[in-house]
Amino acid sequence: MHDALTGLLARRTVAERETWRSLWDQLGDGKLPAEQAVTLLASLTTRLPDPATLAALHTSLLERRPARPGPAWPASVNIVGTGGGPATFNVSTAAAFVAAATGVRVVKTGSRAYTSNLGSVDLLERLGVRLTSSYEQTQEHLERDGIAFTGPFVYPAELTRLARTVAPLGMKAFGRFLNALGPFLADLPVTAQVTGVSHIMPLDDLRTLADTITTCSVWLTTNDRGADELLGFADNTIHQGHGRQLHIRAGQLTTADGGFEALAPAPEGEAVDHFLAVLGGRAHPAATATVRLNAAALALAGGLHTRWSTALAATDEAVTSGAAVALAQRLRTRRRAPLATGAAHHG
């Protein structure tokens, strides 16, 4: 068995980057047995390793990503959650649309469902919104629409190779690890990233990991209700990096009315209609308030606004004017439009 696996199973620190490089080399060469790939994922899912091991694992994956072409995307923000909290509709995806409708440049990463009925990719598929397949295409969408939803090309190819190696078992069983580390593996030239962290995730370890990222500012959002998004009816904390924290009390910025019943996911057959109703302010008021609060956080993280009051006013206008719904509908009509010319890269 590979040294990285024996270390993980013995709960020892595996901080040597060469050990992880060797593991990924074996995976890429097709020399890592399927049972060892399953063991790796099962161990990481059962309990994330200690911070030093997690940092080495994370770095070893980051360094294997191909060189990213093109310039940075100024004043742009990625929003993504770890999942695993109370069941809600796709709040972060809705917040991405609302924020973009206010003028925030949003690049949204995500995945299919691991711990919920519909992940962001599942919902976008039902909406008819196309994922991008290259950095060039992502930039084109961002410049044209102010928002882009990236495909898997932004993640290390090792994740795809792991999925192929453990097939037909599939990756859903290992969702906790993938959701925890995934937000920190996407290679995007954004200015900021806002990541919701649910109560089942190791917040302290993820804070330490976020502090190692130097390419953009990273905000981690938590609350006393265990969800991976900001909630108007909860006490929230935004961890802004290197010990800086912002506390938002329940009802401080939006209504404290409602609860998780207002955020419950719709049945799959009604998910699109419900999602558009939220964007248009026609769902439960607490649902729209939750989306507006998270969209306002994107505006502040990206630097479009410096005050919560003005950011929230802009999100209210995006909802009540119909701008957020109009943006979603515009992207839906482009489903069958010709693909951009940027070369696709799926890792």
Q: What is the 3-state secondary structure (H, E, C) of 288-303?
A: HHHHHHHHHHHHHHHC
pLDDT for 336 equals 52
Report which residue type is found at 320. T
How does pLDDT run across 222-271, given as a tens digit for each residue?
999 999 999 999 999 999 999 999 999 999 999 999 999 999 999 989 99
Is CATH 1.20.970.10 the right assignment for the domain spanning 3-62? yes
How does pLDDT run across 158-189, given as a tens digit for each residue?
988 998 899 888 777 777 788 888 889 888 99
Domains of the chain, by residue range, sit at: 3-62, 76-150+186-333
Q: Model confidence at 16, in pLDDT bands (50, 70, 90)? A: very high
Please give the C-alpha separations between residue 83 and each of 89, 112, 172, 262, in angstroms, as whole numbers. Answer: 11, 11, 13, 18
pLDDT for 69 equals 66
CATH topology agreement for domains 3-62 and 76-150+186-333: no
Fold designation for 76-150+186-333: Pyrimidine Nucleoside Phosphorylase; Chain A, domain 2 (3.40.1030)
Residues forming a β-bridge with 241: 244
pLDDT for 347 equals 29
CA count, 13 A, side-chain hemisphere, 29? 8
pLDDT for 117 equals 66
Is the pLDDT at 38 greater than 70? The verdict is yes
Residues forming a β-bridge with 217: 192
Helix (H, G, I), strand (E, B) or coil at 108: strand
Q: Are 173 and 45 in contact (CB under 8 A)?
A: yes
Q: Model confidence at 83, in pLDDT bands (50, 70, 90)? A: confident
- The two three-digit tokens of residue 173, written as one number: 């069983």
- Count Cβ atoms within 10 A of the Cβ of residue 264 and give its class: 0-12 exposed, 13-18 middle, 19 or more buried: middle
Nearest to 331 by CA among 72, 192, 132, 195: 132
Mean pLDDT of the chain: 91
